[in-house]
Amino acid sequence: INLNRYNNPEFETTIRIRASKDGLLNAIKITTYTILSEDVTLDPTPMLNPPLIIPIEELNVNNMDEITINLKYTMGGGLNTIQATGRRNK
């Protein structure tokens, strides 16, 4: 994000992951970092940028299945703007 210009607060991305074992996928964990400069990055802490657990519709997955996660939210809009969906690729 460049704070010297307008940044669209609407964010959307597609993430592809592989299941590491058979099981039930029902959430994703998002870990964020704060980049202050090229040389200074703040890691997550319990008070600043804690990990987020985002529920998704349950998917039965098998080891090595490819899963597509669609994630969208409004920056600064609060946790209620987060939407995540997942599907197993054929």
Domain of 71, CATH number, reads 2.70.160.11
What residue numbers bound the domain in which 65 lies?
Answer: 10-88
pLDDT tens profile 61-87: 999 999 999 999 998 898 899 999 999
Q: What is the DSSP letter of 79?
A: G
Q: Which residues contact 41 (CB under 8 A, 6 or more apart)?
A: 33, 34, 35
Count the domains in the chain.
Answer: 1
The two tokens of residue 16 are 């592809």
Total H helices, total E strands in the chain: 0, 7
Residue 68: inside a domain, yes or no?
A: yes
Does residue 5 sit within a domain? Answer: no
What is the model's pTM?
0.75
Residue of 81, 83, 79, 75 lying closest to 1 (CA atoms):
75
AA identity, residue 43: D
pLDDT tens-digit map of 33-64: 888 889 999 898 888 888 899 999 999 999 99
**Residue 84: how many other CB atoms lie within 10 Å:** 18
